[in-house]
Amino acid sequence: MKGFRLPESMRGELAKPHGRLYRGEGEKLLLEVEEIPEAELFCTVGDLVTASAIKVGLIPDLAVADGKTLREEDVEFEKGVFDEVIETINPPAHISCELISALVKALEACESGKKVLVFVDGEEDLAVVPLVKLLPLGSVIVYGQPGEGVVALRVDEEKKVLILILLSRMEVIGECDELKYLLGGDWLGSLR
């Protein structure tokens, strides 16, 4: 599968919060996230966060989920709240070209006012990385921080630069147009 693979040496770095951590648990925690009401686009990554947002009436513009939490128990949530569901494949510890393509397609649908769910066969955890690069400035991504709460990551220029640096340190597994699009042109050649 073409795309990026996360090296073992980077796992700890990506496991720490890259936004504002809201400590706690339960659906009502999402109502405390101050960044959501002013978000250009509101996105969730992860099944529990998406389910919690829906339960408290905060329907994400874009949600990314894989049907499981902590790769174990199944999580059910109301998929009917979304105007469109895009299915894709993404193996654990990867950012596949298929995932990037699905996110680009989802964002195009969001631009026309649709609420979109990207449903991943595999693992969605690393979707935050390409989303930071692809989303417009001022967007907010909310994702779970296991055992602690949720993280609200506001997309700004500094985060976009950080993502390019992180991507440059990941292993490239075959090239595709989606990688070039994500990295902005011919930057992929400089990663080799």
| Confidence check: pLDDT of 189 > 50 | no
pLDDT band per the 50, 70, 90 thresholds, residue 151: very high
pLDDT tens-digit map of 101-115: 999 999 999 999 999
| Confidence check: pLDDT of 190 > 80 | no
pLDDT tens-digit map of 5-55: 999 999 988 888 999 999 998 889 999 999 999 999 999 999 999 999 999
Phi-psi domain of 174 (left: phi exceeds 0; alpha: psi -120 through 50; beta: other) = left
Instruction: Tell me if 113 is assigned to some domain.
Output: yes
Q: Cα-flanking dihedrals φ and ψ of residue 58, to 5°?
A: -105, 85
Which structural domain range is residue 71 located in? 44-146+169-182
Count of domains for the chain = 1
pLDDT band per the 50, 70, 90 thresholds, residue 180: confident
Instruction: Tell me if 125 is assigned to some domain.
Output: yes
Please give the single-letter amino acid code of residue 70: L
Statement: the pTM of the whole predicted model exceeds 0.85: yes
Instruction: Tell me if 110 is assigned to some domain.
Output: yes
Instruction: Tell me if 92 is assigned to some domain.
Output: yes
